[in-house]
Amino acid sequence: MLFGEYLVKNGILTQEQVDEILRIQSKTSVESGKRSLLGDIAVECGHISKEAIEKAFLAFFREE
């Protein structure tokens, strides 16, 4: 499972928010040649706090 799918499945972000983040991630990757992290973009967009995304990230890897 991908991290974005995990966030939606667990009600942390909506599918629309993840779709927006992925569009931004794709655009910035093309423009800068570097891929921004989904969590960083989610925080920058104001969809989630840095603390909450870090907590979700740790929980995601515990489930894997």
- Please give the radius of gyration of the chain, using alpha carbons only, rounded to the nearest integer: 11
pLDDT of residue 16: 98
Number of domains in the chain: 1
Residue that wins the pLDDT comparison between 4 and 64: 4
Encode pLDDT of 27-41 as tens digits: 987 778 888 999 999
Mean pLDDT of the residues in the chain: 94
Domain of 39 in residue numbering reads as 3-63
Across 3-17, average pLDDT: 98
Could you tell me how far CA 36 lies from the centroid of its own chain?
Answer: 10
The alpha helices in the chain, defined as continuous H runs, are 3-9, 15-32, 38-44, 50-63
Separation of alpha carbons 30 and 8, rounded Å:
25
Res. 46 pLDDT band, cuts 50 70 90? very high
